[in-house]
Structure 1
């Protein structure tokens, strides 16, 4: 089975500005590609995603097209910066729009996102990565995604020193190891769920 991954980067910086969140997402997609998984990165802030908790918020809403890509994917990667200890407002909006999936079901009566794997990547020059990953995983689990073992990766700069992940000369060994584990476990879990789906509701 050929797997697909969709990376939603939740930076506040529109393209073509450089982004640490976008960088780590693309590094992870490169690792997924080594495992035979195809995918793409969507920088959410480049699209007019309307506020709301419906799958389609009407004229001009860009979420339905992003959702179409998510429906076609087996793995969702959410990459976000840390802002005052929390995920970005863009990441929060993604979660709010995904709330609509609680009322969407497949032909077997399961929530629409059940059977998909979710992973997370967080970067920032301040503390907060563990809490952000916990918040993301709780929300994504509620929506129906399955989280693999060690499905989160992050980089935090030294406290109160500034600096960005994109400015590093190379990926720190600990981050590279976490990235590789995330990808390996996500692919393993997605293959298992593809072969043996959750029971019908």
Structure 2
């Protein structure tokens, strides 16, 4: 089992980080929260969750142990897979998610793409007691401080991230362009977060 990977951050997009260590480049699927935390850094340490299936071996990377714990709690809920859990952690900050679970805010959890009412209710019922023990609020940085000029780089990275999360490129591009027109200085992670709430 891999506990964490520490090394040089050689490539970074809102959905994937590549870390080189010992001459090997590891591609780790990440959430927007982790993207914000490691953006602009040269050397990073990501905590790892290994998803081993018959057809794939996927590594998920997290900037903080608490986020990995939340991820593991989410995938323990019936009907929530690894990609859905990553979508939840990209749409809501860990503290927002914990607040929503502890206060029984179904609407907030249901606003995440791919989460229906029954799944939202199941997340709340299954995890309410467990997250109390985590004491997670305020521990993980939320939102990046780096703003990018409105150019194709931001648009392409945002559309690429949405495509990697499973959305079709055409509607993704349309929504991303609308967001950038309204928020010209928005960083990539903010564009993707807003897009996740708008794409049907």
Shorter-chain TM range is under 0.3
Normalising by structure 2, we get a TM-score of 0.27
Structure with more of its chain in helix, by fraction:
2
What is the TM-score when the length of structure 1 is the normalising length? 0.27
